[in-house]
A and B are shown apart, each in its own frame.
Chain A
């Protein structure tokens, strides 16, 4: 047993040492800093970008492995691959990019932390905290990117700073808003903004949750209910449950990150309304829905409204043009205490056990330059929400007025664990689907108070323990 322990520890220590063979941390920071500056000037000239004198010569002949989630927009995945190859060719670095199905990303990162093999990994919201000890401090780089971009969007700022340090640079996140069928809503008497006007004037279909539920009742009576996933799935279930909780005066914890603020009378009442609304206005099979269910249901004309990214719209443009013509997006409804969106930041981080930290830094500094990052943002046409503020005014948003609502989303974004800080505990609550399961239990049992008490107990065990 003792031997096993020694092996385990020894490996951890060695990984850290391996991080930067022969280079002091200071030198590394400096190299990356100058690199970032150098490329700002040069990077704007497409195709002519070359490293200046600041580029560390030892990169040549090294290799770089990047791990991330598969893209919904295949063209963006291809672009990223191409960019990485281009950089590799100029630098003389062999670059390898791997893309995995979302649920498979985490075990692979965990294994990479134990065993090495990757330099840059993509981290979903909260993972910067989970893997804090294994990520390289990228504060200098992140701050340079933020500065250049006019500051982080709100949802990014909190999410990736762990104990005051940036452990990754955020590329933003994929979008999420309420998808609706124009003609079906008009049929039940909703006054809808014209999509073209929507982008020009900033008007959008502004609903409260109660209005939304009432609308659902009318729509379901016509056989076209609302759709909301409540199963164990990373995306859609949480993107309704967290905001609904926040909009109704409850949260996992207060700002102190300790006091549970979940079991609130106001939330219990709201949950009762949701239970009723779920019967009256939603497709009631939602507890078994995963992230792909509402996409299918919307395309098949089975539901009239659902919270989702613009992947529904993008597929419709390709395969279901009639539906694409008849749909639009709006922000998630608001509640008594405001309008919120669950929107953590996805980041690129560097693993400490990487054998090429210097190369990884150089690559990230280069990639986050406006040219590369901008191309990557533009090719996704709004599916990807940028991480810094200056992109909010990008002409990209005016191109398709139906994508306009997504440009408003970053401003209402909140992280897991809010109002407390996002950290390992909020990550655990998210991984255990405590909030989502509270909702699933509620609609299954019809017992609002009991379900919320169950959730509060679970949260107490996580945050109090």
Chain B
């Protein structure tokens, strides 16, 4: 029964589609890698096969480290992403727990409100937001992004964690409460440790969005060395009507490496965190 027919079917239903998906989703990256390893004169030479590297050069990567402040951008991006993720996650844990477990006035309305916050496009928000940021004297500081990124991180995080908290049997908590533990005590000592996969998922998700954000980073923090990777790349590697394609692509790829590594290690946790939070909730 388990023979070549089954294998054939498996190739047809799993491997062929998988190969097609991989080509579609990864071809642009293959392209970016090729571009980042070519000299500019080869890039627009139509006699060359654009998918192959004719003259390999590491110059685009060297340029990134020698002629631009790439490492500073990376440091800025890391600080902002870690801090914004931590802040957003802390808020999301509390909100998620309150919405999942506690009965309080206005609770359901607030839940809807947080969900609706997702509907407000940043292109509408950013000018009024610039005023708020300026009034609070956050302009051109890390805080400008650390405080504004949570606005698009908290809705998803709260939703995910709310679902996750619901999967934790209520009885465990109740036992602890009867044993004299305080409400907050149970949250931190019992619920949180049990929810680590969900928290990890929310953290990875938030970190990715913070790492990639462009508009707020451009408007609120782009002075001097205070640039994130996307903003620094675009503002320093595009000179009027000439784009430095090699370094641009090198920067895009290098800037994504840390996140790609995180995903490779944690992708299973990420998925299982989503499973419990988003599905079983």
Contacts and interface: CB of A to CB of B under 8 A. Distances in A.
Contacts of A236: 241
A74 B239 contact: yes
B256 interface: no
B212 to A, nearest CB: 16
A108 B131 CA distance: 13
A101 B235 contact: yes
B46 A300 contact: yes
- Interface secondary structure of B, over-half rule: helix
A311 B242 CA distance: 8
A116 interface: yes
B133 interface: yes
Contact of B223 (A72, A98, A319): A98
B177 to A, nearest CB: 43
A263 to B, nearest CB: 32
A292 interface: yes
Interface in B99-157: 126-128, 130-131, 133-135, 139-140
Nearest to A74: B239
B235 A104 contact: yes
A320 B44 CA distance: 11
Interface of A is mostly: mixed
B46 A101 contact: no
A72 B244 CA distance: 11
Interface string B221-242: 0111000000000111011111
Interface stretch (A19-27, A63-71, A387-395): A63-71
Interface residues of A, number: 38
Contacts of B239: 70-72, 74
Contacts of B264: none
Contacts of B204: none
B219 interface: yes
A96 B97 CA distance: 46
Contact of B241 (A11, A96, A309): A309
Contact of A69 (B131, B133, B134, B240): B240
A449 to B, nearest CB: 33
B257 to A, nearest CB: 23
A299 interface: yes
A110 B242 CA distance: 25
Nearest to A73: B239
A98 B139 CA distance: 14
Contact of B243 (A114, A292, A299): A292
Contacts of A320: 41
A347 B224 CA distance: 21
Contact of B41 (A115, A291, A309, A319): A319
Given A108-B219, A111-B219, A299-B44, A101 B130 contact: no
B131 A107 contact: no
A56 interface: no
A295 interface: yes
Nearest to A65: B223
B126 A111 contact: yes
5 contacts: A99-B235, A111-B219, A115-B131, A116-B139, A292-B242
Which 9 pairs of residues, A with B, have the shortest CB-CB distance?
A: A115-B134, A72-B240, A291-B241, A111-B130, A300-B44, A115-B130, A101-B238, A111-B219, A101-B235
